[in-house]
Chains A and B, each alone.
With several copies, the nearest count.
Chain A
Amino acid sequence: MQRFRFPVIAPDPALEELRAELQQFLRSERAAGTFQPEPECWMASSDPEFSQKMGRRGWIGLTWSSQYGGHDKTALERYIVTEEMLRAGAPVAAHWIADRQHAPMLIEHGTEAQKLDILPRIAAGTCYFAIGLSEPGAGSDLANVKTRAEKVEGGWRVSGQKIWSSGAHICHYMVALLRTSPADGRNRHVGLSQIMIDLKAPGVTVKPITDLSGDAHFNEVYFDNVLVPDDALLGEEGGGWKQVTGELAMERSGPERFLSSYVTLESALHDLKDRMTGESLARLGRLVASLRTLRGMSWGIAQLLHQGVSPETEAALVKDLGNRLENDLTQQVRAMMSDIPNDEWSPAMHRILNIGILRSPPNTLRGGTTEVMRGITARQLGLR
């Protein structure tokens, strides 16, 4: 038997043209000094100007209809764009989440007016979204959210607090998982809904959290009786749990789960050039094999998603493997770089390796912890 479904996709030459175009753009941006490559760029490297440039080139909103500012392309083309941005370590964090997650949500659940208003701005790289899941008492145990939305005349009143909302300080909206009715005894999954909140609305306070790397992209977001309109409810009232777990499953298999430290390797190869020892070649070979394999798995899932299938366990496997690969990659690069004296390292190498190490701890937490991923896999294996 074969336990998991990962289709293998034959190469498509049309996609390679798009890839070449992206690489050309990224090379010239780097040459112009627009950005310095950074690990974990999709989370921590924001540059609204860069996002707007991408928007102008048609690289945001690829998959949705041109009626809403999109480009009528396939999920596979979108995959190529995300892949090249990650490989380059480009500053894509501003628009990343809105493009990946909230635009599809609006397309599925939004009103026509919302779509016409918001989607073109997302595609232009000017409108950003934050995720509103975690709370101080609801991390892995997401069903424990306490922030409430109370039905009032013409809308909802939201009160409570979200935390770890990446980018909320520059975002225009948050889609938050809120309790809209009490839990049904021990079944805490009922009574949760997803609601879109304008972060400029009265009663919203955004407080940045500085992390150990000195970045401040995480935020606490407080809601003090914030009024949102009726159409802010995305999807079904009480259907929030199902929607959120579905989305999480979709995100877990993307290239951000295994390509976020790729720039570290590239930087090392640049510094080492023809000074690679047999040992370093072996480390490189091992990484090449892992990257290629994970890419195949992730790409296979992209194909399934494209076909409307959402393989939760396969996505959890990719995330767990990808997290392990990324930690391993950084360590392998440390070993490779020990072959040359550290005053022969390029300044970029020092910088990238430091950033890579300092930004690594959240990898195995965000989007579901390693423990949650293994629990999902164990369930599929019939162990729980």
Chain B
Amino acid sequence: MISTDGMIAETTARIYADLCPREVPHRAEAGEFPQGLWDTLAENGLTLAWVSEENGGFGAEVSEVLGAIWIAAQAASPVPLAETLIANWLLDRAGLAPAEGRASFAIQSHLASAEIPFGGAVDQIVSFDARSGEVALFDNREPHAMEALSPDGVTRFVFSGKKVERSGLTNLSQHSVEALVLTVRAVQMAATMEAALGLSIDYVSAREQFGRTLSKFQAIQHQLAVAASESAAATMAATQAASSLAAHAADPAPAWHEAVIAKVQIGHSVEAVTVPFHQVHGAMGYTQEYDLHHYTRRLWAWRDEGGNEHHWSRVLGGAA
């Protein structure tokens, strides 16, 4: 279990309960960014939670912040909270001031470009160069939107020729940064699976066919039982990654292994949960006005982000 105790998670829970009811992700996708939600998160310092005090942040515990990320994901958070947290963590490690507003991140390796989550809705991109350890802050004007599975949108960011606003060196390795990013996504994915499971249970408990609620059909029960088992496994994998990250907060490199395990485990279970979730919902779950797709589309997008489960399985097998 990801702990959602502590002040940071509780504040986050309160803000989302107040300012992110189910209409908000819908409106965000229609182009109406929830400025009030974002401003409140920022005013409460949540975007700076992983920034050290000397750089103007709160130096919060890894695990407390992951609890907040869990809560945001369960609300289908339509703002780049996790992305900004990661971006600011990177800046902090390079001794740089946090981003001014909404930010996202990119890991630069041999590729000339990167796919940026939430890329259409952020002001700045923080890149980490895996070869040099350099962190750089780029302006994100005119992002190149891509067709995306995620409701959050994705853009493609080409590194060369872009103006660097500030930059600095870190002693972080690629494994360090991957450990953080993969763990954050694992927590979000596990939270998303559990939220979508909850929606599915509610739906089959209310909907009738053939004079019975759907929940009374053994085929429905067993589909959701399998999905629940995969969702529980995802939460375990995320929790193990989170524990390992918390134990290596100073430099997360040793947490890389558990983070990759979580990526592989959870990535491979996406089909095993999204297929039954959609199936038990029937056509209703396929409509834009219903909430399920806020969860399933994020799962589809996140499993591919930064390499899909097949890629990371090879990496993990090679490291074993």
Within 8 A of B (CB), among A211-247: 211-212, 214, 218
Within 8 A of B (CB), among A289-318: 289-290, 292-294, 296-297, 300, 314, 317
Whether B1 and A5, one on each chain, are in contact in the complex, defined by CB atoms closer than 8 angstroms, is yes
Whether A383 and B224, one on each chain, are in contact in the complex, defined by CB atoms closer than 8 angstroms, is yes
26 contacts between A and B (CB under 8 A): A1-B194, A8-B243, A276-B317, A278-B314, A281-B317, A283-B313, A284-B313, A284-B317, A292-B237, A293-B233, A293-B240, A293-B261, A300-B236, A317-B228, A320-B229, A334-B308, A341-B111, A351-B147, A361-B285, A365-B282, A373-B225, A374-B225, A378-B221, A382-B201, A383-B201, A383-B216
Told that A285-B317, A343-B156, A375-B221 touch, could you supply 7 new A-B pairs with CB distance under 8 A?
A: A140-B282, A141-B210, A210-B289, A293-B237, A300-B236, A354-B149, A365-B279
Whether A289 and B287, one on each chain, are in contact in the complex, defined by CB atoms closer than 8 angstroms, is no
1/0 per residue, CB under 8 A from B, across A347-366: the answer is 00011001001100110110
Taken together as a complex, chains A and B put the C-alpha atoms of A113 and B261 apart, in Å, by 50
Answer whether residue B102 sits at the interface, using C-beta atoms and an 8 A cutoff.
Answer: no
> Which chain B residue has the least Cβ–Cβ distance from A380?
B228
Taken together as a complex, chains A and B put the C-alpha atoms of A288 and B320 apart, in Å, by 8
Task: Output the least CB separation between B76 and chain A (Å).
Answer: 13
Could you list which residues of chain B lie within 8 angstroms of chain A, going by C-beta atoms?
1-2, 4, 74, 110-113, 115, 146-149, 156, 194, 197-198, 201, 204-205, 208-211, 215-217, 219-222, 224-226, 228-233, 235-237, 239-240, 243, 247, 258, 260-262, 264-265, 268, 271, 275, 278-279, 282-283, 285-289, 292-293, 296-297, 300, 304, 307-320
Whether B222 and A374, one on each chain, are in contact in the complex, defined by CB atoms closer than 8 angstroms, is yes
Answer whether residue A335 sits at the interface, using C-beta atoms and an 8 A cutoff.
Answer: yes
Taken together as a complex, chains A and B put the C-alpha atoms of A293 and B296 apart, in Å, by 22
Q: Which of B232, B265, B268 contacts A4 (CB 8 A)?
A: B232
> Which chain B residue has the least Cβ–Cβ distance from A143?
B210
Whether A383 and B232, one on each chain, are in contact in the complex, defined by CB atoms closer than 8 angstroms, is no
Q: Which of B147, B235, B283 contacts A362 (CB 8 A)?
A: B283
Whether B310 and A335, one on each chain, are in contact in the complex, defined by CB atoms closer than 8 angstroms, is yes
Taken together as a complex, chains A and B put the C-alpha atoms of A66 and B7 apart, in Å, by 47
Within 8 A of B (CB), among A243-281: 276, 278, 280-281
Whether B265 and A371, one on each chain, are in contact in the complex, defined by CB atoms closer than 8 angstroms, is no
Q: Which of B194, B209, B215, B314 contacts A383 (CB 8 A)?
A: B215
Q: A297-B236, A361-B285 are in contact. Are A282 and B226 (CB under 8 A)?
A: no
Q: Which residues of A contact B222 (CB under 8 A)?
A: 371, 374, 378
Could you say which of A139, A163, A278, A381 has the most chain B C-beta atoms within 10 Å of its C-beta? A381
Q: Which of B115, B232, B264 contacts A285 (CB 8 A)?
A: B264
Whether B310 and A282, one on each chain, are in contact in the complex, defined by CB atoms closer than 8 angstroms, is yes
Taken together as a complex, chains A and B put the C-alpha atoms of A309 and B282 apart, in Å, by 31
Whether B149 and A2, one on each chain, are in contact in the complex, defined by CB atoms closer than 8 angstroms, is no
Answer whether residue A46 sits at the interface, using C-beta atoms and an 8 A cutoff.
Answer: no
Whether A288 and B317, one on each chain, are in contact in the complex, defined by CB atoms closer than 8 angstroms, is yes
Could you list which residues of chain A lie within 8 angstroms of chain B, going by C-beta atoms?
1-8, 10, 134, 137, 139-141, 144, 163-164, 209-212, 214, 218, 276, 278, 280-286, 288-290, 292-294, 296-297, 300, 314, 317, 320-321, 327, 331, 334-335, 338, 341-343, 350-351, 354, 357-358, 361-362, 364-365, 369-371, 373-375, 377-378, 381-384
Q: Which of B146, B240, B260 contacts A350 (CB 8 A)?
A: B146
Could you say which of B112, B286, B287 has the most chain A C-beta atoms within 10 Å of its C-beta? B286
Whether B229 and A350, one on each chain, are in contact in the complex, defined by CB atoms closer than 8 angstroms, is no
Q: Which residues of A contact B236 (CB under 8 A)?
A: 6, 8, 293, 296-297, 300
Whether A286 and B279, one on each chain, are in contact in the complex, defined by CB atoms closer than 8 angstroms, is no
Taken together as a complex, chains A and B put the C-alpha atoms of A362 and B268 apart, in Å, by 22
Whether A209 and B287, one on each chain, are in contact in the complex, defined by CB atoms closer than 8 angstroms, is yes
> Which chain B residue has the least Cβ–Cβ distance from A209?
B287
Q: Which residues of B contact A377 (CB under 8 A)?
A: 225, 228-229
Taken together as a complex, chains A and B put the C-alpha atoms of A314 and B225 apart, in Å, by 12
Could you say which of A327, A335, A342, A361 has the most chain B C-beta atoms within 10 Å of its C-beta? A361
Taken together as a complex, chains A and B put the C-alpha atoms of A63 and B99 apart, in Å, by 55
Task: Output the least CB separation between B26 and chain A (Å).
Answer: 11
Q: Which residues of B contact A281 (CB under 8 A)?
A: 313-314, 317-318
Whether B283 and A383, one on each chain, are in contact in the complex, defined by CB atoms closer than 8 angstroms, is no
Could you say which of A280, A293, A317, A381 has the most chain B C-beta atoms within 10 Å of its C-beta? A293
Q: Which residues of A contact B275 (CB under 8 A)?
A: 327, 364
Q: Which of A292, A297, A334, A371 contacts B219 (CB 8 A)?
A: A371
Whether B224 and A6, one on each chain, are in contact in the complex, defined by CB atoms closer than 8 angstroms, is no
Whether B287 and A2, one on each chain, are in contact in the complex, defined by CB atoms closer than 8 angstroms, is no
> Which chain A residue has the least Cβ–Cβ distance from B2?
A2
Task: Output the least CB separation between A33 and chain B (Å).
Answer: 18
Q: Which residues of A contact B247 (CB under 8 A)?
A: 10
Q: A285-B314, A327-B275 are in contact. Are A139 and B282 (CB under 8 A)?
A: yes
Whether A358 and B197, one on each chain, are in contact in the complex, defined by CB atoms closer than 8 angstroms, is no
Whether B317 and A361, one on each chain, are in contact in the complex, defined by CB atoms closer than 8 angstroms, is no
Whether A286 and B313, one on each chain, are in contact in the complex, defined by CB atoms closer than 8 angstroms, is yes
Whether A212 and B288, one on each chain, are in contact in the complex, defined by CB atoms closer than 8 angstroms, is yes
Q: A361-B286, A369-B282, A383-B224 are in contact. Are A289 and B232 (CB under 8 A)?
A: no
Q: A141-B210, A371-B217, A374-B221 are in contact. Are A365 and B271 (CB under 8 A)?
A: no
Q: Which residues of A contact B293 (CB under 8 A)?
A: 212
Q: A281-B317, A383-B220 are in contact. Are A214 and B288 (CB under 8 A)?
A: yes
Taken together as a complex, chains A and B put the C-alpha atoms of A296 and B297 apart, in Å, by 28
Q: Which residues of A contact B265 (CB under 8 A)?
A: 289-290, 292-293
Q: Which residues of B contact A286 (CB under 8 A)?
A: 264, 268, 309, 313, 316-317
Q: Which residues of B contact A358 (CB under 8 A)?
A: 149, 297, 300
Whether B279 and A370, one on each chain, are in contact in the complex, defined by CB atoms closer than 8 angstroms, is yes
Task: Output the least CB separation between B67 and chain A (Å).
Answer: 11
Q: Which residues of B contact A210 (CB under 8 A)?
A: 287-289
Whether B314 and A321, one on each chain, are in contact in the complex, defined by CB atoms closer than 8 angstroms, is no
Whether A285 and B282, one on each chain, are in contact in the complex, defined by CB atoms closer than 8 angstroms, is no
Q: Which of A214, A282, A364, A373 contacts B279 (CB 8 A)?
A: A364
Task: Output the least CB separation between A53 and chain B (Å).
Answer: 27
Taken together as a complex, chains A and B put the C-alpha atoms of A9 and B225 apart, in Å, by 26
Q: Which of B111, B208, B311 contacts A343 (CB 8 A)?
A: B111
Task: Output the least CB separation between A192 and chain B (Å).
Answer: 16
Whether B1 and A289, one on each chain, are in contact in the complex, defined by CB atoms closer than 8 angstroms, is no
